Structure 1
Amino acid sequence: MMKLPLFAALIYIGRAAAVLEEVFAWKELDFDWPNDEFKNDLVKSGEYVAGNNLPLGVDRWKDKLFVTVPRWKSGVAASLNYIPLNSTDKSPKLVPYPDWKANILPKKGETPEENHIVSTFRLKVDSCDRLWVMETGLADILGEPSQISPPAIVIFDLKTDKVIRRYNLKGTDIKGDDSFFANIVVDVTKDTCDKAFAYVPDLGGYGLVVYSFADNNSWRIKHNYFYFDPLHGDLTVGGVNFQWTDGVFGLALGPPNENGFRTVYFHALASTNEFSVNTQVLRNESLATDPHSYELFKLEGNKGENTQSTASVFDEKTNVLFLTQIQKDGVACWNPRRKLEPANVGIAVHHQENLIFTNDIAIDSDRNLWILSDKMPAFVYKGLDPLEINYRILKIGVDEAINGTRCVA
């Protein structure tokens, strides 16, 4: 098992056995520049503005911890990056993946390479040593948005750092200017690498895109459960009040059943309800797009007030669903063997300062729960103080996180 940095701070989170490690923390992000001249040129041209780089997505593969930096604003140096986990720096520089060239915005008239990433929010490492990246192709989202390349699923071979495939979403997958694809989950096992499916929620267009790796094809699904709840779009995080209309966003896959299908648990960001559907429905294009399949989608229940969530992930060993809690400065858990109601939703981790806006979570092969917090509402609406810690990546063992909660079966 890989050794993580010895500097990691220990944060006690209420229950005696549960300890949350602060692995990395930054006031502002910096990058592993090829040389000083390269950095200075980007600073002079406005292509690197330190305060405009906000980390958002996280996942681990062996000794690499991948971290995304979406191009919310101009001045993002590289969107797809990793941190070597043997780093001894508590605020390490991000290393662009697969290299710098793939992350620099193309000049006018240039054709991007197959491995080029303009702006990505979430990514997923699968059990076949592949990295799936949901590339939005959209730069300067909060300023003067520019669609540099089509939304695409980009799949890397992590053993060679080469692109296996780049799949541009079809016109029928996209709902005009409303669509916004910020997440991706991958349905695959080590024995079914060539039969993988990816599920991509459209939080702005209120839909779900299914991609079949074997067929190299995709289709869009509509359902009322993908919409936001107008009663739960008013949010306050870190003292910042705002209103969002984000629809389906968080997705998590339960364990395979005897037929190889799974339960997909999903929710809109602006909602406190949790829903589910079997992947047997999603993988079948004719069934998934048939209006008569409406009742095959299920309401699991309500998590309670102020339980809006950006991301979720499922631990198969304990049968526990983890969900970020952006208004509660933490991460919740729920075991689907229990009815979904507020009394059965546990608080796995909580910290009023270090977990302000838990934007993403991931479980690695060692069953560590990784958490990225980034104060995003303040970044978007108010501005961050460059003299204080704004971004953190923390981790805790899954079993520790649920110990003493209602999530233990």
Structure 2
Amino acid sequence: MSPFLCVIFLLCLSTLATATKFDQVYEWDELDYEWPAEANRTKSLIDGTFKPEEMSPLYMAVFGSRLFLSLGSYNGIPVSLVTVPTSSTSTKNPKLTPFPSWDLHDYGKEGDCNKIEVAAGLQVDSIGRLWVLDSGSSECKAKLWIIDLINNDHTKLIHQFVFRNWMHDLVLDETADGTFAYISRWGESHIVVFNLKRKRSWMVYTPPKIQVISIAISPNLEEPRKLYLGKWISEEVYSISAATLRSGLTRRVKPKLIGKWKTTDPYRMLIDNQGTMYSAFVFSNNTQSWNTSQPFQAQLFHEDEAAGLDSLFPFTIALDQNESIWLTVEHERSQKPRYRLLKVAVGEKSNDVLPGLPYSHLN
């Protein structure tokens, strides 16, 4: 390659790495709740049931003027599902409001199986219902909640699974025959399928070597729909037919290897309506993207030098109804602000600026 072409290529890579222009919505030096009273907060700090340094966003969903977060399931996290408005006159250290209320969480009542115990993956369906995975506890089985965001946040415990713990993420498949949820559990060699119409769930097993962590689904307008699986402790990405899962007739599948990310452990994947997949990785300071209509080729989507060094899950990604991308970033503990909430509007994404150009600076 001539020196001139080499310079042009490097400039293109640099442009790609910085092309995504996010707007900052909020920043936090420390996460905190909107408490019923200051006395509740003080007591929880003293007895150790509230440890603000342990709070970290792991999952996110957006609907209308509200953003929902699931927080890390560690000791010192009294409420794991919270909400904040998508905009506010104050952008620094906004308080997190327990959702749908303090009373529906097991704060101070551990082992109450009729409460939200450990919120995990979140998704909003086309009619404004928030689906919430709940890992349960040593005393309660894992659960699935549906909260009607249009109907006064009416909350219903829709299903209890046969297992406990290790719930990770879910995607929704809305069909003429009803809505199906496909659920991944941390490092398990199976996918959990839930049929809302029949209130029934079952497991579909993958080969033992394919331990699933992340999960994504192709756009609703695309048929046949594909389910994408990120492999635990691996860069590998696989795909299977969603129709195979929803039929309920198949209990074992052999996903097809379609490519590899540039980084291991893609703990969060999602796909927008144009078919672009976005992924975040364990202990990584970048997120990547891939146009699923093309052969697998990872691109850099967003990078933050201060992220990923001492955080297991440094990024959380979500799409809203307008296909804008929302991103939380967790910085090193020594950095201020510790957390940032960012947003990029449709048409301002890096892969729209330079489509198909891979990045190589991590090689």
Give the TM bin, normalised by the shorter chain.
0.7 to 0.9
Task: Provide the residue aligned with 1:80 in structure 2.
Answer: 81
Q: CA-to-partner distance for each residue in 1:167-186, whole Å, 9 max, x for gaps?
A: 1112xxx4xx8x61111111
2:347 maps to 1:399: yes
Choose from 151, 166, 169 the match for 1:180. 166
SS of the equivalent of 2:94 reads coil
Match of 1:119 in 2: 118
Provide the rounded CA distance (Å) in 1 between the counterparts of 2:147 and 2:208.
32
| Counterpart-to-counterpart distance in 2, 1:187 and 1:20 | 29
2:182 aligned with 1:199: yes
Q: Aligned letter for 2:204?
A: I
Deviations 1:2-33 (A, max 9, x none): xxxxxxxxxxx945753112222222211111
> 8 Å contact 1:24–1:91 — kept in the other structure?
yes
Task: Tell me which amino acid in the other structure corresponds to 2:41.
Answer: K
**Structure 2 residue 201 is the aligned partner of structure 1 residue 218:** yes
Q: Which residue of 2 aligns with 1:350?
A: 303
Q: CA deviation at 1:269?
A: 3.7
State how 1:1-400 maps to structure 2 within 5 Å. 14-15=15-16, 18-72=20-74, 74-87=75-88, 88-107=90-109, 111-113=112-114, 116-138=115-137, 147-159=138-150, 160-170=152-162, 174=163, 180-188=166-174, 195-224=178-207, 227=210, 247-256=211-220, 261-287=224-250, 289=251, 291=252, 293-294=253-254, 297-304=255-262, 306-316=263-273, 318-326=274-282, 328-340=284-296, 344-354=297-307, 357-374=313-330, 384-385=333-334, 388-400=336-348
- Secondary structure, aligned partner of 2:167: coil
Asked if the contact 1:83–1:94 (Cα under 8 Å) also holds between the matched residues in 2, the reply is yes
Question: Cα distance, 1:112 vs. partner?
Answer: 4.5
Deviation, structure 1 residue 207 = 1.4
Q: Distance in 1 between matches of 2:209 and 2:269?
A: 15
**Aligned mates of 2:322, 2:344 — CA distance in 1:** 11
Partners of 1:18 and 1:71 in 2: CA distance: 31
1:163 alignment partner, SS class: strand
Do the aligned residues in 2 keep the contact of 1:64 with 1:84 (CA within 8 Å)? yes
Name the amino acid aligned to 2:159. Answer: Y
SS at match of 1:285: coil
User: What SS does structure 2 have at the residue aligned with 1:44?
Assistant: helix
List structure 1 segments (4+ residues) > 6 angstroms apart after TM superposition.
Answer: none
Task: Summarize the Cα distance change of 1:339–1:17 in structure 2 as closer, same or farther, 3 Å threshold.
Answer: closer
The residue aligned with 2:11 is none
| SS in structure 2 of the partner of residue 365 of structure 1 | coil
How far the C-alpha of 1:36 sits from its partner, in A, is 1.3
CA distance in 2, matches of 1:158, 1:328: 33
Q: Distance in 1 between matches of 2:356 and 2:209?
A: 26
Q: Deviations over 1:358-377 (max 9, x none)?
A: 432111111111112335xx
1:185-216 Cα distance to aligned partner (Å, 9 max, x none):
11126xx5x81111111223321100000110
Assess if the C-alpha contact under 8 Å between 2:284 and 2:314 holds in 1. Answer: no
The amino acid across from 1:199 in the alignment is: Y
Structure 2 gaps of 5+ residues are: 1-13, 358-363
Amino-acid identity (%) = 24
Cα 1:39/1:284, change in 2 over 3 Å:
same
Q: Which amino acid aligns with 1:19?
A: K
Contact map agreement 1:57 1:359 (CA 8 A) in 2? no
Say if 2:290 and 2:299, in contact at 8 Å, map to a contact too: yes
CA contact (8 A) 2:307 2:330 kept: no
- Deviation per CA, 1:279-300: give whole Å up to 9, x if none: 110101222x1x4x53xx2111
Instruction: Judge conservation of contact 2:112–2:140 (CA < 8 Å) in 1.
Output: no
Q: Which amino acid aligns with 2:62?
A: R
Query: What CA distance in whole angstroms lies between the structure 1 residues aligned with 2:327 and 2:134?
Result: 22
Query: Cα–Cα, structure 1 residues 203 and 355, in superposed 2: closer, same or farther, change >3 Å?
Result: closer
Q: CA RMSD in A?
A: 2.5
Unmatched tracts of structure 1, length 5 or more: 1-12, 139-146, 228-246, 379-383
3-state SS in 2 of match to 1:311:
strand
Matched with 1:233 is: none
Contact preservation (8 Å) 1:124, 1:131: yes
